[in-house]
């Protein structure tokens, strides 16, 4: 908070009123940078996609709730999301700077949730430096910061009761010995992550298994073998386009590269982070005001949060085998998928669930046939891709898991169903 | 002996001031200016070839037959260099004249008389990111005029594989020298199906065996049973007759996942890979190796190197051990037990069979960082083989911050600047880790002392291949070391200052093996001294040593030398004077067999009877709940109890099952045969893990009832009493007063209230989910078969008890209770006449005795009329070696307030106390600490004070352990004085023992068993215990180990009992063993 103290001093020098009209593009830029600040530290920490979805959701809801009073037509999440009680209110008739209130709430919430706090602070200080350039009266500034603080505190108290802390203490996962169940996968044979994520309180869903998927094909059944064959054969004749799609949607924060004793991390953002990034692209393209932008960010993050819970509930119900394990046993002992298999059971495909749920939200907010260029993966040296709708993108993301050799088709198709149901439930509960 | 040793120490100390044992000679003196220059470029770097920093080799031998050993160095990138010894440590660079040239990437070098003309030839291995023809190995045949001619193709050993080193020795006992070629892959296949990869054969990556067929060699790898798969990253080769059958065996060190190989010669031109029959576990990233008789028992011992650092900082910064699951998966996929540290495999002969006990940690030579060459030699000539180790790595490759944070950051920076990252640029930013080489003195007690500094080796370097030779012909080993980007080291040995005696032996062998390779020599003396050495060329890493032997003799003036040539011919030199350089000639050898009469075995295993019962553990894994536990408490047992259950005058036994397994009673048939007496009641209670049991007449009806303690670390902790009908048939009736709610560890039945019936103390071992908080133990008073819990408060949570015995130690008529356990001192509760029978003011904790105790027995072991306490502890063969000054501590509190107990073990590393867990392990238990330690570096200096806040620390539970040694608490009438057993008895956790006179000399001996396989992957399983007999030599208070008794208890042995002339050993998760006492 040292940055803010300095800002407070500086702001005495500029006793001008803020010019709201021209502020929007810059506000959006600050909001986008705030999100990136959180994304970067999570990538650095190799934060799992699950924990990332939690960090995003609470931070972005806090951001939204702290800017929301700036547009009276917007609803609060209180009463809509499980366990979230009425938020602190603004002082009627007083002036607020919503960007200050919002970034304060976001910063405080994120800071509490991330691990590498120093790193987060260093990046955040750069945002603070730009916020300093705003001309705000000290009174408004302090009032806005205070409101942001109150919102953050409220959200963090809510977060505390989501059972996350308790799930850190539970017994680590033991893979089932029997054939057909998930086993640790090459190259690093990491332990399965977050086996108890279905114990996390959902935000919208009444329970993690509200939408129960059909059981995956039994191991060694005809359907199962056909699924293996499809993954194997696809890998043999992948087109460059399919390979590009697989790499574009890889979104694996756990991947490693091995050269002798040197096993270094190849860091990428998680699937959730990718869709948060797409949300940012849509916001920018529409030149939305701050409040609407945060509604988009937060609503997508809520959908992703619940989608992961529903998805993980099924993953550790079916404990299903990964293609690499099955194909090496049944078909080709040296077969390797294009992508590294992430460390958790196969069914359903998390990316399919998350992408579809996000696309459902974004389609409602921005309409179908929304043309955009996705440059989210550019930072990892991966070329941009162009999409004509969010649903196109979600379908591609889902299928890319087959091309990448890390999922069977049934996990993709059923994963998309689950994502759609979760997304629609979110929209049904919180009508934007 | 002890006096002599002290004198030696004083002498070496005094001399140490004037001149250390070794002095480094400058190039200006020696004329040797060789250095292995590694210049990284875009085509030549570690990304193109992963063994880019492994360095070069060194070979020592007399190339020009002038009586002085010469030196050849290989440089990876530059030309090899040849130096002729001119005497007085002056060398001539004769490289150009020698016509030895080798382009490409050179690795190992060996001198051997390949064409048997009496002149040493030179074989150079090649590898690297080069064209196949530039990888062909080279054989330079000595032209006897200072020049050499490359003739590898002619001899058919111009292999174009990726070679590390070649060894020449006679594998088929046909008299000539064959060649084992150690190769390595350049690709990684660890992601693939293991069985498939293991059985594959790769002509470039796989090892090969070439048979000498006179004028050429023939690749016999396939028929000889040599594994040639593409996953064996061969880095070390040790040649020796490990099992003493006269046929040469091979030990191959493999880097990474692939197991090491122990090839036992089948005497028919084939080898059988037999690692698992001889060795319990190996180094993981096995590197160089050596063989020597380190304990002077005339058996060759084996040592392999790895990369575990000595200091805390580097242990925490560099890549740590694998997790439990990953390790288990490797095992399931067919890999063996491999751990990242140096391994010292001590050979033990038992009934003709060799078994190795791995004792590297106790010996103090397990952690020497990224190590390449190991050379055993008696450098101070005191009669014990010392150890020299080279190490260092040009890029700190496994620095976790670099791998996890810096590299991704560098990649990101490059991309942010619009460039694709060049990994080579990143590699160039890796720091170099120059580490000092190690020089250890063998103390003669299975321990080595680090003498690097005192003996003059104090320079940091990147050292790889090394060799010894006696360059000044003064009878001690000088050392030569090949360094990266730094001049080679020539170390002159000044052992003569110590006034120790030596015998240096050269050989004049057969026509086709003139150097006498494979000859074995035993030097012995009247004081019992004996040491075996075998003449082999390849030792350490990528190098070969001078083909002669040096025996250090201390102050001995005359010795007996017994020579066994490769074809079995022998020679014995009696009253051989010392301080001589002698040449043994084959032509003088005779056919006399060295008489070695097979000793009478004291014990013999009855293999068929051992199939009676196999203990079967359930799958529960404690580490899933408490990842920082040192070992699994769910894998205790089986219970083993002895008693005559059917009243026929012969003892029978009970053995417990693990959870899900039915216990059994076996009835003694009188002839060493035992037959199970089915008791269906055990089937009913099989879901309780039976960890302890006793037979005792608990209802005073003159038969033995059975008290069974329930353990495991999960649930079902209720103990059971099974009542005997007098004929050995047991029934259960619920005893509502008996309610045990914690994991049991011990039980003892005794009449503490003196009312004529047997009462019970049930000691508990661990609080499930909250290690190390003391669990509730129970003092149970027998009231006509009903057991009432009358446990006094102080006794309820007295500690984590693993053993309890009752005896009237102070002979006051009241039975005392003696307890011990984990983080618990040996504690005596003095019995009292009335309730509460035991009280806190009548409790004696033996000072500084807190240990990880497993078992206790009470006996008058010194036969002085009072009772002593004999106690089994964790032993010293572990990374942690607590003492009074440097205890192990454990601090436990819920650091992150998430409802789980965070128990952090700390121990002293190089004089300072550090937490045991790695950063990743710690985060698994306490995720919130990720914020406290954002980098590996931040954690690398952390102590317990950085993990706990002051406030947390104040509230935490603190326990300590000051003693890991097993031994005797000798009662001298005033108190107890601890006398530790000899080191042979400290190499394994002592789990149980018998006190008896096994050698019929009227004195009490100790027959010991122990091990522990249920441990974290980090510490590795404790499997050095093979069963040990210690005999008393009254009035000498020291118990002495006896080898070759026929008692081989090498499994996860937990309990031993004696019935008549039979021993029964109960093993965890394994079959029982029954031995006959001969």
**pLDDT over 80 (residue B14):** no
Q: Quickly state the pLDDT bin for B17 (edges 50, 70, 90).
A: low
Q: Is A331 exposed, middle or buried (0-12, 13-18, 19+ CB in 10 A)?
A: middle
Angle subtended at Cα B488 by Cα B485 and Cα B491, rounded to the nearest 5 degrees: 145
pLDDT at B579 over 90: yes
* Cβ <8 Å between B190 and A186: yes
- pLDDT band for B18, please (50, 70, 90 cuts): low
- Asked if B193's CB is within 8 angstroms of A328's CB, the reply is yes
C-alpha R_g of chain A: 22
Task: Measure the CA–CA gap between A311 and A212, rounded to whole angstroms.
Answer: 10
Q: Give the mean pLDDT of B248-261.
A: 96
Section A103-123 average pLDDT = 97
Q: How much is the pLDDT for B801? A: 98
B900 versus B491: the higher-pLDDT residue is B491
Environment class of B885 (CB within 10 Å of its CB; exposed 0-12, middle 13-18, buried 19+) = exposed
Phi, psi of B686 (to 5 degrees): -75, -10
* For residues B959-968, average pLDDT: 98
Q: Contact B408/A328, CB-based, under 8 Å?
A: no
Q: What angle do CA B338, B318, B419 make, to 5 degrees?
A: 120
The nearest CA of chain B is from the CA of A42 a distance in Å of 12
CB atoms near residue B763 (< 10 Å): 29
Q: Compute the distance between CA of residue B617 and CA of residue A171 in angstroms, rounded to an integer.
A: 19
Over 50: is that where the pLDDT of A6 sits? no
pLDDT greater at residue A13 or residue B498: B498
By DSSP bridging, strand B580-585 and strand B501-508 are parallel
Identify the weakest region by mean pLDDT among B207-211, B831-835, B981-985. B831-835
Whether residue A9 has pLDDT greater than 60: no
Q: B273 to chain A nearest CA, in Å?
A: 24
d(CA B421, CA B412): 8
Out of B46, B193, B420, name the one closest to residue A260 (CB): B46
What is the spatial distance between Cα B845 and Cα B825, in angstroms, rounded to a whole number?
6
Residue holding tokens 């299903």? Answer: A320
Nearest CA to CA, how far is B239 from chain A (Å)? 27
* Cβ-proximal residues to B1000 (8 Å cutoff; 6+ apart), any chain: none
Does the beta-carbon distance from B619 to A259 stay under 8 Å?
no
Question: Residue B592: pLDDT above 80?
Answer: no
Q: How many CA atoms lie within 13 A of B1039 on its CB side?
A: 27
B749 DSSP assignment: E
Backbone angles phi, psi at B70, to 5 degrees: -105, 175
Per-residue tokens: A42 = 């999570």
How buried is A72 (Cβ within 10 angstroms: 0-12 exposed, 13-18 middle, 19+ buried)? exposed
Structure tokens of A32? Answer: 């986008």
Place of tokens 């040995």: B493
Give B610's contacts (C-beta < 8 A, 6+ positions apart): B1071, B1072, B1073, B1074
What are phi and psi for residue B559, nearest 5 degrees? -140, 165
The tokens describing B528, both together, are 């019992």
Is B986 in contact with B1029 (CB distance < 8 Å)? no
The answer to whether the Cβ–Cβ distance between A336 and B191 falls below 8 Å is: yes
Contact indicator for A416, A390 with CB cutoff of 8 Å: no
pLDDT, tens only, B175-215: 999 999 999 999 876 566 788 889 999 999 999 999 999 99
Structure tokens of B609? 């009877």
**B644-B645-B646-B649 Cα dihedral, nearest 10 degrees:** 10
- CA distance linking residue B880 with residue B367, whole number of Å: 12
| Number of neighbours of residue B420 by Cβ within 10 angstroms | 9
Q: Phi and psi of A302, rounded to 5°? A: -65, -45
Q: Tell me the pLDDT tens digit for each residue of A79-111.
A: 999 999 999 999 999 999 999 999 999 999 999
Kindly determine whether residue B420 and residue A117, on different chains, have CB atoms separated by under 8 Å: no
* pLDDT-derived band at B595, boundaries 50, 70, 90: low
Q: Which pLDDT belongs to residue A408?
A: 98
How far is the alpha carbon of A175 from chain B, nearest alpha carbon, in Å? Answer: 9
Mean pLDDT of B869-887: 98
Angle at B844 between CA B841 and CA B846, to 5 degrees: 155
Rg of chain B on CA atoms, in Å: 31
- Residue A246: the pLDDT is 96
- Within 8 A by CB and 6+ apart from B515, the residues are B112, B113, B120, B507, B509, B535, B537, B547
Distance CA B70, CA A186 (A): 49
Residues 6+ apart with CB under 8 A from B97: B146, B147
Of the listed ranges A61-65, A334-338, B441-445, B542-546, the least confidently predicted one is: A334-338
Determine contact, residues A266/A250, Cβ cutoff 8 Å. no
- The pLDDT of B364-370, averaged and rounded, is 97
What is the spatial distance between Cα A360 and Cα A364, in angstroms, rounded to a whole number?
6
Helices (H), ranges, B26-106? 27-30, 95-98
How far is Cα A316 from Cα A170, in angstroms, rounded to an integer? Answer: 14
d(CA B393, CA B389): 14
Q: Which pLDDT value is given to residue B192?
A: 65
| Residue-wise pLDDT tens digits, A200-259 | 999 999 999 999 999 999 999 999 999 999 999 999 999 999 999 999 999 999 888 887
- Residue B659: how many other CB atoms lie within 10 Å: 22
B229 C-beta neighbours (distance < 10 Å), count: 19
| Terminal Cα-to-Cα distance of chain A (whole angstroms) | 33
CB contact under 8 A, B408 and A267: yes
B480 beta partners: B467, B490
Length of chain A: 432
Q: How far apart are the first and last CA of chain B?
A: 33
Query: Which residue spans within B116-183 are E strands per DSSP?
Result: 121-127, 138-142, 148-150, 163-169, 178-183
Q: What pLDDT is attached to residue A14?
A: 40
Q: What is the pLDDT of residue B226?
A: 98
Number of helical (H) and strand (E) elements in chain B, helices listed first: 21, 71
Identify the pLDDT of residue B323. 80
What tens digit of pLDDT does each residue of B272-307 get?
999 999 999 999 999 999 999 999 999 999 999 999
Which pLDDT score is estimated for B458?
87
CB proximity A162 to B under 8 Å: no
Per-residue pLDDT tens digits for A331-359: 998 899 999 999 999 999 999 999 999 99
Q: Are B539 and B548 in contact (CB under 8 A)?
A: no
B900 vs B103: which has the higher pLDDT? B103
Q: Is the pLDDT of residue B1059 over 80?
A: yes
Residues 6 or more apart in contact with residue B645 via CB below 8 angstroms: B652, B654, B665, B667, B677, B695, B703, B704, B706, B724, B728
Residue B672 pLDDT: 86
Q: How confident is the model at residue B319 (pLDDT cuts 50, 70, 90)?
A: confident
The string of pLDDT tens digits covering residues B741-750 is 999 999 999 9
Can you tell me whether residue A229 is helix, strand or coil?
helix
Chain A residues touching residue B409 (CB < 8 angstroms): 44
In what helix (H) or strand (E) does residue A75 lie, and over which residues does it extend? Answer: none
Using the Cβ of A165 and the Cβ atoms of chain B, whether some distance falls under 8 Å is answered with: yes
Which one-letter DSSP state was computed for residue B160? Answer: -
Record: contact B192-A260, CB cut-off 8 A: no
Q: What is the mean pLDDT of chain A?
A: 92
User: Which residues numbered 266-295 in A keep a CB inside 8 Å of some CB on B?
Assistant: 266-267
Average pLDDT of chain B is 94
Shortest CA distance from A169: residue in chain B: B900
**Residue B522 pairs with which residues in a beta bridge?**
B532, B562
Phi first, then psi: what are they for B145, rounded to 5°? -135, 25
Cis, bond preceding B772 (omega within 30 deg of 0):
yes
pLDDT at B78 over 90: yes
Q: B292 near B251, Cβ under 8 Å?
A: no
Distance, in Å, from the CA atom of B754 to the CA atom of B541, rounded to the nearest integer, reads 69
Burial of A401 (0-12, 13-18, 19+ CB in 10 A): buried
Across the interface, do B196 and A117 touch by the CB < 8 Å criterion? no
Please report which residue ranges of A185-263 form alpha helices under DSSP H.
Answer: 222-236, 240-248
pTM: 0.94
List C-alpha distances in Å: B687 to A176, B21, B683, B712, B717.
21, 63, 9, 10, 10
- Which residues, other chains included, contact B532 with Cβ-Cβ below 8 Å and sequence gap of 6+? B293, B298, B299, B300, B520, B521, B522
Cross-chain residue pair B189–A334, CB shorter than 8 Å = yes
Residue A240 at interface with chain B, using a CB cutoff of 8 Å: no
State the average pLDDT over residues B917-940. 95
Question: Which strand (E) or helix (H) includes residue A36?
Answer: helix A20-44
Residue B1065 has pLDDT above 50, yes or no: yes
Q: How far apart are CA B142 and CA B151, in angstroms?
A: 10
Asked if B829 and B795 count as a contact pair (C-beta separation under 8 A), the reply is yes
Query: Which pLDDT band, with edges at 50, 70 and 90, does A12 fall under?
Result: very low
Q: How many CB pairs below 8 A link A and B?
A: 116
Q: Give the mutation candidate from A55, A112, A121, A169 for the B interface (greatest B CB count, under 10 A).
A: A169
**Mean pLDDT for the stretch of residues A179-193:** 92
Residue B3 pLDDT greater than 70, yes or no = no
């Amino acid at each position: 908070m040292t940055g803010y103290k300095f800002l407070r001093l500086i702001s005495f020098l500029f006793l001008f009123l803020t010019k709201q009209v021209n502020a929007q593009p810059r506000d959006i830029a600050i909001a986008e940078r705030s999100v990136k600040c959180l994304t970067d530290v999570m990538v650095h920490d190799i934060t799992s996609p699950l924990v990332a979805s939690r960090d995003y959701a609470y931070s972005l809801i806090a951001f939204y709730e702290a800017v929301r009073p700036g547009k009276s037509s917007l609803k609060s999440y209180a009463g809509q999301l499980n366990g979230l009680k009425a938020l602190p209110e603004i002082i009627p008739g007083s002036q607020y700077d919503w960007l200050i209130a919002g970034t304060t709430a976001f910063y405080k919430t994120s800071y509490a949730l991330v691990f590498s706090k120093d790193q987060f602070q260093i990046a955040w200080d750069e945002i603070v430096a730009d916020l300093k350039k705003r001309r705000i009266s000290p009174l408004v500034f302090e009032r806005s910061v205070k409101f942001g603080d109150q919102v953050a505190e409220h959200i963090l108290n809510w977060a505390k009761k989501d059972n996350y802390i308790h799930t850190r203490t539970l017994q680590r996962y033991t893979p089932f010995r029997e054939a057909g169940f998930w086993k640790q996968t090459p190259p690093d044979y990491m332990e399965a992550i977050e086996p108890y994520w279905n114990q996390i309180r959902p935000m919208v869903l009444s329970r993690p298994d509200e939408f129960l998927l059909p059981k995956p094909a039994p191991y060694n059944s005809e359907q199962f073998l056909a699924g293996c064959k499809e993954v194997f054969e696809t890998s043999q004749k992948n087109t460059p386009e399919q390979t590009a799609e697989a790499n574009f949607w890889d979104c694996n924060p756990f991947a490693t590269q091995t050269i002798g004793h040197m096993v270094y991390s190849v860091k990428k953002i998680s699937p959730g982070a990718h869709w948060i990034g797409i949300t940012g692209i849509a916001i920018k393209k529409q030149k939305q005001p701050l409040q609407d932008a945060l509604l988009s960010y937060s609503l997508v993050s809520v959908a992703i949060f619940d989608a992961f819970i529903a998805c993980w509930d099924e993953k550790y119900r079916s404990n299903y085998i990964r293609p690499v394990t099955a194909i090496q046993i049944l078909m080709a002992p040296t077969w390797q998928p294009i992508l590294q298999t992430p460390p958790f059971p196969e069914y359903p495909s998390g990316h399919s669930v998350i992408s579809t749920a996000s696309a459902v939200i974004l389609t409602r907010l921005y309409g179908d046939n929304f043309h955009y260029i996705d440059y989210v993966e550019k930072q990892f040296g991966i070329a941009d891709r162009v999409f004509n709708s969010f649903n196109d993108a979600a379908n591609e993301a889902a299928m890319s898991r087959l091309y990448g050799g890390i999922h069977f088709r049934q996990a993709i198709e059923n994963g998309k169903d689950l994502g759609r149901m979760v997304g629609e439930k979110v929209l049904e509960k919180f009508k934007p | 002996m002890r006096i002599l040793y002290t004198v030696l120490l004083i002498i070496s100390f005094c001399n140490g001031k004037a001149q250390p044992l070794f002095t480094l000679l400058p190039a200006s003196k020696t004329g040797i200016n060789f250095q292995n220059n590694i210049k990284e470029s875009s085509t030549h770097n570690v990304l193109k070839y992963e063994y880019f920093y492994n360095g070069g080799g060194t070979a020592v031998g007399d190339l020009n037959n002038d009586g002085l050993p010469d030196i050849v160095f290989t440089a990876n990138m530059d030309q090899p260099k040849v130096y002729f010894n001119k005497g007085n440590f002056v060398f001539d660079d004769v490289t150009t004249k020698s016509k030895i040239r080798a382009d490409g990437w050179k690795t190992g070098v060996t001198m051997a008389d390949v064409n048997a003309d009496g002149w040493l030839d030179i074989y150079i291995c090649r590898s690297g990111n080069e064209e196949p023809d530039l990888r062909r190995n080279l054989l330079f045949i000595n032209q006897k005029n200072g020049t050499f001619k490359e003739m590898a193709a002619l001899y058919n050993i111009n292999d174009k594989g990726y070679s590390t080193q070649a060894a020449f020795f006679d594998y088929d006992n046909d008299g000539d020298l064959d060649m084992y070629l150690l190769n390595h892959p350049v690709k990684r296949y660890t992601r693939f199906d293991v069985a498939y990869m293991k059985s594959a054969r790769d002509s470039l990556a796989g090892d090969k065996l070439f048979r000498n067929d006179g004028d050429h060699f023939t690749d016999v790898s396939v028929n000889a049973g040599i594994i040639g798969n593409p996953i064996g990253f061969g880095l070390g080769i040790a040649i020796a007759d490990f099992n003493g059958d006269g046929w040469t065996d091979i030990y191959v060190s493999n880097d990474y996942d692939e197991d090491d190989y122990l090839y036992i010669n089948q005497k028919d031109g084939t080898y059988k890979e037999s690692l698992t029959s001889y060795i319990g576990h190996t180094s993981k990233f096995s590197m160089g190796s050596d063989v020597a008789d380190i304990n002077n028992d005339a058996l060759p011992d084996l040592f392999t190197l790895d990369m575990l650092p000595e200091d805390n900082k580097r242990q925490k910064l560099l890549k740590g051990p694998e997790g439990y699951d990953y390790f288990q998966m490797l095992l399931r996929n067919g890999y063996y037990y491999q751990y990242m540290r140096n391994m010292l495999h001590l050979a033990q002969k038992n009934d003709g069979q060799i078994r190795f006990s791995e004792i590297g940690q106790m010996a103090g030579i397990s952690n020497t960082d990224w190590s390449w060459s190991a050379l055993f030699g008696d450098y101070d000539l005191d009669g014990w083989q010392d150890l020299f180790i080279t190490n260092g790595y040009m890029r700190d490759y496994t620095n976790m911050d670099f791998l996890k944070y810096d590299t991704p950051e560098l990649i990101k920076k490059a991309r942010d600047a619009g460039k694709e990252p060049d990994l080579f640029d990143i590699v160039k930013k890796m720091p170099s880790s120059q580490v000092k080489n190690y020089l250890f003195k063998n103390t003669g007690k299975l321990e080595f002392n680090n003498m690097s500094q005192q003996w003059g080796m104090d320079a940091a370097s990147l050292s790889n291949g090394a060799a010894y030779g006696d360059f000044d012909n003064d009878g001690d080993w000088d050392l030569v070391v090949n360094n990266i980007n730094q001049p080679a080291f020539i170390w002159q040995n000044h052992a003569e200052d110590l006034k120790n005696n030596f015998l240096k032996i050269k050989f004049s062998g057969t026509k086709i093996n003139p150097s006498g390779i494979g000859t074995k020599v035993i030097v012995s003396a009247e004081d019992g001294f004996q040491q075996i050495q075998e003449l082999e060329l390849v030792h350490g890493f990528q190098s070969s040593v001078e083909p002669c032997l040096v025996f250090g003799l201390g102050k001995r003036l005359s010795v007996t030398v017994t020579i066994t040539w490769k074809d079995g011919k022998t020679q014995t030199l009696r009253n051989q004077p010392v301080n001589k350089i002698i040449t043994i000639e084959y032509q003088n050898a005779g056919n006399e067999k060295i008489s070695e009469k097979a000793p009478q075995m004291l014990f013999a295993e009855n293999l068929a009877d051992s199939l009676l019962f196999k203990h079967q553990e359930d799958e529960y894994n404690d580490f899933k709940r408490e990842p920082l536990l040192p070992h699994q408490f769910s894998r205790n047992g089986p219970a083993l109890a002895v008693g005559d259950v059917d009243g026929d005058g012969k003892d029978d036994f009970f053995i417990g099952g693990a959870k899900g397994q039915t216990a059994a009673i076996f009835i003694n048939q009188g002839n060493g045969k035992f037959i199970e007496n089915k008791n269906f009641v055990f089937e009913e209670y099989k879901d309780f893990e039976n960890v302890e049991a006793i037979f005792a007449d608990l209802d005073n009806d003159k038969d033995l009832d059975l008290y069974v303690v329930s353990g495991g670390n999960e649930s079902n902790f209720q103990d059971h009493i099974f009542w005997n009908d007098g004929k050995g048939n047991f029934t259960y009736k619920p005893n509502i007063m008996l309610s045990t709610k914690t994991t049991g560890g011990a039980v003892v039945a005794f009449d503490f209230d003196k009312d004529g019936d047997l009462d019970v103390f049930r000691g508990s071992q661990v609080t499930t989910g909250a290690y190390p908080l003391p669990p509730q133990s129970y003092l149970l008073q027998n009231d006509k078969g009903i057991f009432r819990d009358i446990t006094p408060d102080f006794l309820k949570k007295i500690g984590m008890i693993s053993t309890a015995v009752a005896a009237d130690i102070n002979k006051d008529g009241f039975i005392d209770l003696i307890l011990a356990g984990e983080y618990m001192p040996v504690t005596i509760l003095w019995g009292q006449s009335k309730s509460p029978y035991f009280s806190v003011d009548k409790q004696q904790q033996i000072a500084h005795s807190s240990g990880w105790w497993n078992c206790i027995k009470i006996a008058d072991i010194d036969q002085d009329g009072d009772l002593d306490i004999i106690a089994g502890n964790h032993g010293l063969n572990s990374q942690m070696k607590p003492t009074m000054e440097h205890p192990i501590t454990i601090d436990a509190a819920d650091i992150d307030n998430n409802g789980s107990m965070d128990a952090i073990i700390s121990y002293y590393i190089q004089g300072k106390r550090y937490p045991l867990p790695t950063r990743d392990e710690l985060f698994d238990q306490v995720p919130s600490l990720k914020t406290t330690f954002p980098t590996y570096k931040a954690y690398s200096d952390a102590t317990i004070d950085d993990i706990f806040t002051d406030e947390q620390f104040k509230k935490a539970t603190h326990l300590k352990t000051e003693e890991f040694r097993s031994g005797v608490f000798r009662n001298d009438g005033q108190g107890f004085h601890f006398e530790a057993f000899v080191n042979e008895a400290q190499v394994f956790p002592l789990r149980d023992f018998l006190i008896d006179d096994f050698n019929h000399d009227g004195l009490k001996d100790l027959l010991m068993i122990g091990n522990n396989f249920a441990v974290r992957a980090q510490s590795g399983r404790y499997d050095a215990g093979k069963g040990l007999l210690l005999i008393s030599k009254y009035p000498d208070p020291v118990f002495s180990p006896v080898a070759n008794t026929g008692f081989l208890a090498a499994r996860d042995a937990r309990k031993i009992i004696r019935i008549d002339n039979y021993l029964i050993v109960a093993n965890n998760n394994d079959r029982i063993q029954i031995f006959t006492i001969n």
